[in-house]
């Protein structure tokens, strides 16, 4: 039993790390209506800025995080203005392909100037709290706390503010939203800014849990997409829940399927769910185009 | 120099076949398949395993093509239920599932150790001549594929699949089932990818799961987008351009030694990335535009 | 037929561009070396250093008047630690640059993919890969492995585990050919001596956490875990093992260790982690030359890059073999002399100039390299000395030599 509880904990933490990325993807998916492949590399940019600024400011993670959030927000909004805004009225493949191009470009700039060496956040490493065999690692508690805080803030923004209402209106039907006087341009900027902030936080979390390398975000893209779709596009809560579910399912499955097939498991789960519910677990069927 | 160009031409042929398959699926029918590498891998592994078991190479290549063709059927069934953007992620996931199977099923695939020593055809010839003969074979396959594609695109079937891309309701209105058309094009495109995979395996002579990353799919997409989706010439121009960018940087390094190898690799990726963005912004129809689309 | 027209003009374009910028004028006597290294991809930690080491060693040979009067010329390529780009790069090196040898392929997948090409063209291949097939396909002695293969790694690990008094080892391996073979040979050596492995597990790269993997292995209560992976995954696993309060020790290969691991983990977590690896002959003259050249080219210590020293040695032993075989010798004749200039029973030399002088004087020589004594076994695999290292209070210290 303890074994499974520990696996659930391991899966939950992994799920939470991916949840923020999934949320960022889900948001831009819902409003901009294409899967943004540049999200992963925006995360990487955030992780790099944070780890480098932390090293330059004698270990201040806060300074690093603030710098990272500023940079990724700028990157994200710049992507919108320079590229995605111009592709708004075109088939979604145009934006998808362009986002892959941006992903490659961002990564190439990182490796051009910083090389491929791994960087590590300076975080004190401490032993797990042990509740008769059930182990909780303090840093995981911190990360979970931050993830929950960020998720809560996003929810408040989306569901309790006028801006959030406008965002959801644009997501539901851009033309109708325009017709009812919503200035969709501003809404889009806000959306891309939020997605940038989320990317930075997600990148930093992954960087703290693992090591910062140029592939950090790109490698998480597919699991994050899987969670976003499984959760149902336009359902940010679904994306988060799906990420955690996938994380837990993966780890709990390891005693049965081993440590290689567990990776395929989340993709199999994605396909299986989509066969039954083409709109995802928490998506609304009528929104399927 | 010539043997190197022959190699490049062979790789262009292999990517060309891969891209032609994608062209059929996306360019003609509008299916957003991001799992193309799965069929490439199935073709490569099937052909390699059969020829390593001592059967003729031709049999292996045929089997690789057929198996890729068949493997697309279940995926095709799934496509029908999904919206276009989900399809991209689902097919991408499918290709990663296939790769995981290649890693895990060691009894068949040797796992991450890969399969070395895959037989090459024309091994009785000298290496240069064998490569030339191989190029001739790839070129023939390419020509046949192009001819078939040309016939197909000018047949009623070709007009129908284009109609699926442009207006599904119109297809239904004339009493045709868009679903069946989608499955068929997915399977045909997969067969081309499988054939490309077989050619790849027998040319490189060593395959392992890490050669079948989603990057291969992206390369095919890049070739298709640069060349121009919906045209046969576009797929070939696109794969030539792709190889030109990938390989050209090697020669660039011989004349600009002050750029380090690491930076050159970064620049290569930057050129591809920026190129994609610029193409999408300023020339979405690619170098060879599809005249059938307004 | 626009298809044909366009593709031929494009090809013609490549040909034209290539002929304009092809290799610079080459003297008749130059011996051309292709440095095909993992500058990008999984091997990027080592690739640039290997390439710079090859260039530095070639410069050293040229400064000493060349090998049998032939200048060495180095053409560098990035193999991207990946088979397909490496095949194209090798093809370019062989056919366009007309290299005589390809040096410094790193991963087994790259070496396996280009081996058929080098064999068919009678080109010498010097690599640092460990796949057993590489050595069995080496019929004409054209291929040389400078990194002690899995067999030797496994034995060294078993020797260290035994000497440290462990009785219940577990195995964790990164899922690739080299790592799996390393622990595979460890298991073989350990079980042959009557020992038992309590748990074995292969893990996938690029996970955000290895907690469930660790949980599985730790459940078997091992006293030591033989972990065979690379720097990023090793960093994460060791950190999580510490966090989970694991009491088992770890033994890891040196390419996943070094100062970078210490920097990532800090003194507490790294305390007592055992590291096995080949010992570069740090006190030796060859290592000092290499180290100085490395420092000059990359501004970091050459000790951090075991493969850099091996790449350096590739050039020196190749040059000595050319020197011995004579200016007109072909590759098969040159390759035949690699063992003759490197293996025991000759006067020990530690630089190309020294070896050249000894050869001129008609003596037998034994090159003692920067990476080790550089004695090749019957497969053409260099057998090096292994040692056990550990981290102690934030210092990377050598414990003892392994037999």
Query: Does B150 contact chain C (CB < 8 Å)?
Result: no
What pLDDT does C6 receive? 40
Instruction: Choose the closest CB to C92 out of B4, B12, B117.
Output: B4
What pLDDT does B49 receive? 98
Name which of B100, B112, A41, B215 is nearest C41 in CA terms.
Answer: B215
Query: A94 vs B104: CB contact, 8 Å cut-off?
Result: no
Instruction: Judge residue C277's burial from the number of C-beta atoms within 10 Å of its C-beta, 0-12 exposed, 13-18 middle, 19 or more buried.
Output: buried
The architecture (CATH level 2) of C29-148+283-383 comes to 3-Layer(aba) Sandwich (3.40)
What pLDDT does C28 receive? 47
Beta-ladder partners of C390: C274, C397
Contact map slice: C 94-153 vs B, CB within 8 A: 94-96, 109, 112-113, 116-117, 120-121, 131, 133, 137
- Other C-beta atoms within 10 Å of C260: how many? 19
* Residue C72 falls in which region: left (phi positive, over 0), alpha (psi -120 to 50) or beta: beta
Query: C44 vs B206: CB contact, 8 Å cut-off?
Result: no
Residue ranges, chain C, pLDDT below 70:
1-28
H/E stretch holding B124 reads none
Chain B residues touching C53 at Cβ < 8 A? none
Token pair belonging to C66: 């060349």
Chain B nearest-CA distance from C336, in A, is 24
To test the contact with chain C by mutation, choose from A3, A10, A112, A147 the residue with the greatest count of C C-beta atoms within 10 A, namely A10
Query: Does B218 contact chain A (CB < 8 Å)?
Result: yes
Spatial contact of C143 and C125, defined as CB atoms under 8 Å apart: yes
**Is there a domain that residue B93 lies in?**
yes
CA distance A119 to A214: 10
DSSP codes joined into one string, B212-258: SSHHHHHHHHHHHHHH-TT-HHHHHHHHHHHHHHHHHHHHHHHH-TT
pLDDT digits (tens, 9 = 90+) for B162-218: 888 888 888 888 888 888 888 999 999 999 999 999 999 999 999 999 899 999 999
Chain A residues touching C212 at Cβ < 8 A? 6-7, 10-11, 251, 254, 259
CA distance B62 to C192: 46
Chain B residues touching C37 at Cβ < 8 A? 261
What pLDDT does B293 receive? 59
Question: Where do the H-state alpha helices sit in C92-210?
Answer: 108-120, 132-136, 150-163, 177-192
CA distance A229 to B292: 34
Name which of C235, C247, C229, C179 is nearest C208 in CA terms.
Answer: C235
For C67, which DSSP code?
B
**Is there a domain that residue B45 lies in?**
yes
**Is there a domain that residue B108 lies in?**
yes
Name which of C206, B122, C209 is nearest A10 in CA terms.
Answer: C209
Neighbours of C, requiring at least 3 CB pairs below 8 Å, are: A, B
pLDDT digits (tens, 9 = 90+) for C131-151: 888 888 777 789 999 998 888
Domain spanning A2-118+136-287: CATH 3.90.1690 = no
CA distance B77 to A255: 32
Query: A127 vs C212: CB contact, 8 Å cut-off?
Result: no
pTM: 0.91
Name which of A272, A189, A181, A279 is nearest A234 in CA terms.
Answer: A279
Spatial contact of A63 and A270, defined as CB atoms under 8 Å apart: no
Angle of helix A236-276 relative to helix A2-32, nearest 10 degrees, comes to 100
CA distance C265 to C210: 16
Query: Does C271 contact chain B (CB < 8 Å)?
Result: no
Number of domains in chain B: 1
Spatial contact of C132 and C181, defined as CB atoms under 8 Å apart: yes
**CATH classification code of C150-277+385-402:** 3.40.50.2300
What pLDDT does C45 receive? 82
Spatial contact of A48 and A223, defined as CB atoms under 8 Å apart: no
Instruction: Choose the closest CB to C109 out of B5, B8, B208.
Output: B208
Q: What is the ipTM of this complex?
A: 0.93
DSSP codes joined into one string, C294-342: HHHHHSS-GGG-HHHHHHHHHHHHHHHHHHHH-TT--HHHHHHHHHHHH
**Where are the extended beta strands (E) located within chain A?**
129-131, 134-136
CA distance A19 to A239: 7
Name which of C348, C382, C383 is nearest C365 in CA terms.
Answer: C348
CA distance B111 to B144: 34
pLDDT digits (tens, 9 = 90+) for C212-262: 999 999 999 999 999 999 899 999 999 999 999 999 999 999 888 878 899
The dihedrals phi and psi of C43, each to the nearest 5 degrees, come to -95, 10
pLDDT tens for the 294 residues of chain B, in order = 788 899 999 999 999 999 999 999 998 888 999 999 999 999 999 999 999 999 999 999 999 999 999 999 999 888 777 877 788 888 999 999 999 999 999 999 999 989 988 999 998 888 788 999 999 999 999 999 999 989 988 888 888 888 888 888 888 888 888 888 889 999 999 999 999 999 999 999 999 998 999 999 999 999 999 999 888 899 999 999 999 988 887 787 767 766 777 788 888 899 999 999 999 999 988 898 887 654
Q: Which residues contact C110 (CB under 8 A, 6 or more apart)?
A: C36, C38, C79, C81, C82, C83, C86, C129
CA distance A23 to C177: 37
CA distance C65 to B195: 52
Percent of chain A past pLDDT 90, that is, above it, reads 60
pLDDT digits (tens, 9 = 90+) for A118-167: 999 999 888 999 898 899 999 999 999 998 899 899 989 988 999 888 88
Q: How many interchain CB pairs under 8 A, A with B?
A: 128
Instruction: Provide the residue range defining the domain that includes B96.
Output: 2-212
- Other C-beta atoms within 10 Å of B144: how many? 11
Closest alpha carbon within chain B to C50: B261
Q: Please give the mean pLDDT across all residues of chain A.
A: 90
CA distance B17 to B149: 11
Chain B residues touching C133 at Cβ < 8 A? 116-117
Please, where in chain C does CATH 3.40.50.2300 lie? 29-148+283-383, 150-277+385-402
Spatial contact of C92 and C78, defined as CB atoms under 8 Å apart: no
To test the contact with chain C by mutation, choose from B110, B150, B250 the residue with the greatest count of C C-beta atoms within 10 A, namely B250
**Domain ranges in chain A?**
2-118+136-287
Average confidence (pLDDT) over A50-70? 95
What pLDDT does C118 receive? 92
Q: Bigger pLDDT: B250 or A113?
A: A113
């Amino acid at each position: 039993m303890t074994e499974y509880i520990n696996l659930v904990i391991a899966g939950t933490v992994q799920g939470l790390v991916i949840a923020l990325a999934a949320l960022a993807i889900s948001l831009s998916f819902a409003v901009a209506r294409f899967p943004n492949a540049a999200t992963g590399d925006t995360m990487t940019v955030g992780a790099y800025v944070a780890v480098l600024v932390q090293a330059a400011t004698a270990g201040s993670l806060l300074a690093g995080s603030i710098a990272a959030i500023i940079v990724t927000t700028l990157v994200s909004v710049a992507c919108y203005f320079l590229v995605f805004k111009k592709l708004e009225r075109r088939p979604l493949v145009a934006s998808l392909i362009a986002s892959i191009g941006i992903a490659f470009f961002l990564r190439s700039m990182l490796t051009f100037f910083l090389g491929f060496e791994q960087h590590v956040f300076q975080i004190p490493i401490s032993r797990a709290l042990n509740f008769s065999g059930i182990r909780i690692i303090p840093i995981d508690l911190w990360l979970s706390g931050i993830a929950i805080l960020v998720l809560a803030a996003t929810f408040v923004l989306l569901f309790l503010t006028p801006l959030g209402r406008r965002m959801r209106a644009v997501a539901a039907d851009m033309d109708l939203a325009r017709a009812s006087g919503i200035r969709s341009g501003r809404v889009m900027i806000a959306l891309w800014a939020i997605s940038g902030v989320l990317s930075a936080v997600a990148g930093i979390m992954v960087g703290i849990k693992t090591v910062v390398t140029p592939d950090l975000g790109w490698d998480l893209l597919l699991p994050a997409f899987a969670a976003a779709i499984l959760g149902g596009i336009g359902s940010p809560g679904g994306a988060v829940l799906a990420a955690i579910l996938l994380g837990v399912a993966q780890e709990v499955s390891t005693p049965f399927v081993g440590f290689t097939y567990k990776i395929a498991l989340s993709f199999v789960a994605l396909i299986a769910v989509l066969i039954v519910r083409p709109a995802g677990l928490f998506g609304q069927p009528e929104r399927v185009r | 120099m010539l043997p190197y160009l022959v190699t490049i031409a062979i790789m262009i042929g292999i990517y060309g076949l891969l891209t032609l398959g994608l062209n059929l699926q996306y360019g003609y029918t509008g299916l957003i398949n991001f799992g193309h590498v799965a069929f490439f891998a199935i073709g490569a592994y099937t052909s390699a395993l059969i020829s390593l078991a001592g059967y003729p190479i031709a049999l292996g290549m045929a089997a690789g093509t057929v198996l890729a063709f068949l493997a697309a059927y279940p995926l095709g069934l799934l496509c029908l239920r999904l919206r276009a953007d989900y399809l991209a992620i689902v097919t991408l996931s499918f290709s990663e599932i296939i790769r995981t199977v290649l890693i895990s099923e060691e009894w068949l695939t040797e796992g991450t150790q890969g399969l070395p020593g895959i037989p090459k055809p024309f091994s009785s010839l000298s290496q240069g001549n064998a490569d030339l003969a191989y190029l001739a074979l790839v070129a023939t396959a390419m020509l046949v594929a192009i001819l078939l594609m040309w016939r197909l695109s000018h047949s009623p079937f070709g007009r129908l699949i284009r109609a699926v891309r442009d207006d599904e309701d119109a297809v239904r209105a004339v009493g045709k089932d868009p679903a069946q058309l989608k499955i068929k094009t997915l399977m045909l495109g997969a067969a081309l990818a499988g054939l490309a995979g077989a050619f790849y395996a027998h040319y490189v002579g060593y395959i392992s799961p890490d050669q079948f990353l989603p990057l291969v799919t992206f390369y095919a997409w890049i070739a298709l987008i640069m060349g121009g989706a919906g045209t046969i010439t576009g797929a070939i121009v696109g794969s030539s351009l792709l190889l030109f960018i990938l390989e050209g940087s090697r020669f660039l390094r011989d004349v600009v030694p002050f750029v380090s190898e690491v930076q050159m690799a970064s620049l290569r990726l930057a050129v591809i990335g920026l190129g994609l963005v610029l193409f999408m912004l300023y020339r979405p129809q690619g170098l060879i535009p599809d005249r059938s689309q307004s | 037929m626009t298809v044909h027209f366009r593709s031929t003009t494009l090809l013609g374009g490549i040909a034209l561009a290539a002929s304009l910028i092809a290799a610079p004028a080459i003297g008749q006597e130059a011996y051309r070396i292709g440095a095909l290294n993992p500058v990008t991809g999984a091997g990027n930690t080592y690739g640039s250093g290997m390439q710079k080491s090859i260039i530095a060693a070639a410069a050293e040979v040229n400064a000493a008047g060349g090998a049998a009067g032939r200048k060495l010329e180095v053409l560098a390529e990035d193999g991207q630690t990946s088979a397909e780009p490496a095949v194209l790069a090798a093809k370019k090196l062989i056919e366009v640059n007309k290299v005589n040898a390809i040096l410094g392929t790193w991963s087994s997948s790259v070496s396996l993919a280009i081996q058929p090409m080098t064999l068919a063209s009678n080109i010498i291949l010097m690599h640092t890969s460990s796949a057993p097939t590489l050595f069995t396909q080496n019929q004409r002695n054209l291929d040389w492995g400078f990194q002690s293969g899995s067999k030797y790694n496994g034995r060294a690990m078993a020797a260290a585990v035994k000497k440290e008094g462990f009785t219940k080892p577990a195995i964790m391996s990164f899922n690739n050919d080299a790592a799996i073979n390393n622990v595979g040979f460890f298991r073989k050596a350990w079980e042959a001596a009557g020992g038992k492995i309590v748990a074995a597990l292969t893990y996938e790269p690029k996970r955000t956490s290895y907690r469930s993997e660790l949980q599985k292995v730790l459940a078997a209560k091992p006293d030591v875990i033989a972990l065979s992976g690379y720097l990023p995954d090793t960093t994460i696993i060791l950190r999580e093992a510490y966090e989970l309060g694991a009491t088992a020790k770890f033994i890891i290969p040196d390419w996943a260790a070094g100062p970078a691991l210490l920097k990532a983990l800090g003194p507490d977590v790294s305390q007592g982690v055992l590291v096995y690896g080949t010992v570069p002959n740090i006190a030796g003259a060859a290592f000092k030359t290499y180290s100085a050249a490395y420092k000059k080219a990359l501004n970091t210590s050459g000790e951090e890059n075991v493969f850099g020293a091996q790449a350096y040695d590739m050039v020196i032993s190749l040059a000595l073999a050319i020197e011995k075989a004579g200016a007109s010798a072909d590759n098969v004749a040159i390759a035949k002399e690699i063992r003759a200039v490197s293996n025991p029973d000759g006067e020990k030399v530690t630089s190309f100039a020294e070896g050249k002088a000894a050869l001129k004087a008609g003596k037998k020589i034994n090159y003692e390299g920067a990476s080790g004594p550089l004695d090749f076994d019957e497969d053409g695999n260099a057998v090096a000395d292994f040692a056990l290292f550990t981290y102690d209070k934030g210092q990377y210290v050598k414990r003892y030599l392994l037999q």
